[in-house]
Structure 1
């Protein structure tokens, strides 16, 4: 039976219309999946079991001590802002400057250790890979930390040189990194000029890949106004006032960690990189390095978050922390 030409034409038009609709839909779907795969879907590369974790020197979670008492198990004394054992002394100050919309609130943790092994790194879900996250406090509690700050959020990227607790996990040089060594020192370095192998030979314990370096050999980085860092959709300046996390070195095995709150009017506007570097210089640091900031900026001490993450007292999931275990 012969088919009506008009009917055949309508069918062809519908097929063309369907094709026109399907192609962009598939394209958008592919783009959405690509973004999800890049920024949301977990990609586990290495899982550490309890035996491996123990061999790296991480401590098992322990019961929280009460304020102003000595722990019978660890011999440590502590309160809401201090912790002291035979191996570690930690003191935290909350500092406020300015007023009204120009007020800044930040926290300085002075950490003195007898041995660099007291400063360790831990990964979210005890796994290495992309987009694996827990809050800073969750990771800290899982590893029995008395003190912790967020790290470099290595899992947001596919590049960088990542050495944690003496193990090389990723070797994709990309930016200015930070190396912490067994002798209790630290220094910023160019990942594209210094090999991971040479760092390990020198006794590196941790590397962090974020930046920029704030202070090197006692001098503040003069180019902070031009620093850019990768984000979801390209590069942008990070010099404007933001919440921040950083680590500084005063002397071997004597560190300061600074966490700046922000994004909450009349409480804290955050700091520019220049202001942040100045804080470390005023504290007497010879080296200082900027870690992941913004909503990630978190300081944990003895079972509580001491700052105000995101200006909403709400932690954001991160991929890693730097911490001091209870009992050290």
Structure 2
């Protein structure tokens, strides 16, 4: 792993020289600090592919076999991909659509986990090279963007600080896909994720990289009260059906929402986990400029 770290540092320097809530019910604990876990991450080269677009897509999932509705945003240029916060910063909850407008986003979804009571961001967060917070070492999957390189996996804060500053960085809960295969059985143990969080049918939001080198944002609709949506295994299936080589899970449940500057809210958000359509106030968002 030391060799991989040295290789990535060299790669990052090379890149720079030419240019890194949880829902009411869908909860995941963030208090398990582990300073002994080894760095274990992959790096992926992104490519500029086509033009930015999003689509509403039906996914076939397996447990039980059925179709679910998702919204896929295909990022044509990595430089357009950002995370963003409300103007007040962490500790303030604002609807994704409003934060998106404040930050000039073309397309947006919810992003990182947060404290439902205080609005405090959870995990690591870097926006436009600005370190919002690097949390205590916590074995949770991390997504980092540096130029046209993505780092995804497990990395300690001490290791992060040895690397050049990331353009964007965020913590998730659940490394879904690695080398084109679902690894939920592994990541649920590695990240100490509660069984209920893994197996509940719920709305989900996540990030992935396709075999083509294109970055994608995927959000799947659901209603927790009616056990509609996908569990993490099925969410991984959605990503692999897109031919994703890597994917990770972000905040979901009633926080999940997809928004377009030209169309407004394009999915069916359920902020109270019931069939009532409503948009939840969150903290960080995915913002495609």
Scaled by the length of structure 2, the TM-score of the pair is 0.68
- The alpha-carbon deviation at position 219 of structure 1 amounts to 2.7
Local SS of the residue matching 1:105? strand
Q: How many residues align?
A: 228
Instruction: Give 1:208's aligned residue.
Output: 170
Q: Is 1:308 matched up with 2:259? A: no
Paired with 2:50 and 2:102, the residues of 1 have a C-alpha distance of: 21
Paired with 2:224 and 2:154, the residues of 1 have a C-alpha distance of: 35
Kindly indicate whether the alpha-carbon contact (under 8 Å) linking 2:209 and 2:246 is maintained by their aligned counterparts in 1. Answer: yes
Paired with 1:112 and 1:237, the residues of 2 have a C-alpha distance of: 28
Local SS of the residue matching 2:199? coil
Kindly indicate whether the alpha-carbon contact (under 8 Å) linking 2:173 and 2:249 is maintained by their aligned counterparts in 1. Answer: yes
1:69-80 paired onto structure 2 within 5 Å = none
Kindly indicate whether the alpha-carbon contact (under 8 Å) linking 2:111 and 2:286 is maintained by their aligned counterparts in 1. Answer: yes
- The alpha-carbon deviation at position 107 of structure 1 amounts to 1.9
Q: Is 1:286 matched up with 2:249? A: no
Paired with 2:177 and 2:233, the residues of 1 have a C-alpha distance of: 10
Larger Rg: 1
**Residues 83-102 of structure 1, C-alpha deviations (whole Å, 9 max, x = no match):** xxx9842131232658xx97
- The alpha-carbon deviation at position 275 of structure 1 amounts to 0.6
Q: Which runs of 5+ in 2 are unaligned?
A: 1-48
Local SS of the residue matching 2:259? strand
Local SS of the residue matching 1:295? helix
Richer in helix (by share): 1
- The alpha-carbon deviation at position 165 of structure 1 amounts to 1.5
Q: Do the aligned partners of residues 289 and 145 (structure 1) sit closer, same or farther apart at CA in structure 2, a change above 3 Å counting?
A: same
- The alpha-carbon deviation at position 284 of structure 1 amounts to 0.8
When structure 1 is superposed on structure 2, of 244-253 and 274-283 the one drifting more is: 244-253
Q: Which runs of 5+ in 1 are unaligned?
A: 1-85
Instruction: Give 1:196's aligned residue.
Output: 160
Task: Work out which structure has the larger RCO, using CA pairs closer than 8 Å and 6 or more positions apart in sequence.
Answer: 2
Q: Is 1:105 matched up with 2:68? A: yes
Q: Please, which of 74, 89, 113 is the counterpart of residue 153 of structure 1?
A: 113
Instruction: Give 1:219's aligned residue.
Output: 181
Q: Please, which of 80, 95, 104 is the counterpart of residue 118 of structure 1?
A: 80
Instruction: Give 1:18's aligned residue.
Output: none
Instruction: Give 2:90's aligned residue.
Output: 129
Paired with 1:103 and 1:306, the residues of 2 have a C-alpha distance of: 22
RMSD: 3.0
Local SS of the residue matching 1:145? coil
**Residues 165-184 of structure 1, C-alpha deviations (whole Å, 9 max, x = no match):** 11112122223232332333
Instruction: Give 2:236's aligned residue.
Output: 277
Local SS of the residue matching 2:167? strand
Local SS of the residue matching 1:277? helix
**Residues 162-213 of structure 1, C-alpha deviations (whole Å, 9 max, x = no match):** 21111112122223232332333323232436633234x1x52211112211
Q: Do the aligned partners of residues 96 and 138 (structure 1) sit closer, same or farther apart at CA in structure 2, a change above 3 Å counting?
A: same
Scaled by the length of structure 1, the TM-score of the pair is 0.61
